[in-house]
Amino acid sequence: MEEKDLGFHYVCTLDQARDLVRNRERFWVADCGCRMKRDKCGRSRSDVCLMFREETPDFGSGKKEISRAAMEDIFSEAEAKHLVPRPFRDEKNMSETDGICFCCDDCCEYFLNPGAHRCDKGEFIESTDSDACKDCGECTNVCYFGARTLEGGKLVIDEDACYGCGVCVAVCPEECIEMVTRV
């Protein structure tokens, strides 16, 4: 894909997000612009916009440098609160990732007004073992993209709507969902 075809944000799994920070030395964080616009977020704390360079513009407020331990706390928050990792690209070099937003359906502009903001799908897509699935609906509660719904008590999956965040995998009590490479 050419740089001009890339969206500013893209989706990845939490493990992929961890890979993005693994070899980095310094981190900055700012209050999320979406959370600030709505006054607060009902799901998580506001300082979850992680940046990899000091000169990266923040989209919220209160930008500050943080330790690796504080960065790990953001990942713990993302996992516990079922936040979707949405890395963002360097606007001058779209092949470089500048940071990661951790988003949800409570305040994120992308989820509240999906047609207004472009976000590229991740390299993975869900794969559900329908024989093992008990149609409990736990995964539908965290699928902010609307790819997983219950209809008539049965799980229905719209693979075209799956962005590959993997949050459904983390909440499945039957462990019948896995992320596979998108074809």
Q: CATH fold of 124-181, please?
A: Alpha-Beta Plaits (3.30.70)
The better pLDDT of the pair 119, 1 is held by 119
Predicted confidence (pLDDT) at residue 39 exceeds the cutoff of 80: no
Predicted confidence (pLDDT) at residue 37 exceeds the cutoff of 80: no
Please provide the DSSP assignment of 101-115 as one string: EEE-TTT-HHHHSGG
Tokens of residue 52, six digits: 């990899």
Average pLDDT, the chain: 91
Domain definitions of the chain by residue range = 3-120, 124-181
CA distances in angstroms from 127 to 146, 153, 162, 166, listed in the order given: 15, 19, 10, 10
As a whole-number percent, the residues of the chain with pLDDT over 90 amount to 69
What is the pLDDT averaged over residues 80-89?
95
User: Where residue 118 falls among pLDDT bands split at 50, 70, 90?
Assistant: confident
* 131-166 pLDDT per residue, tens: 999 999 999 999 999 999 999 999 999 999 999 999
Q: What is the pLDDT of residue 1?
A: 60
As a whole-number percent, the residues of the chain with pLDDT over 70 amount to 98
The pTM of the whole model exceeds 0.75: yes
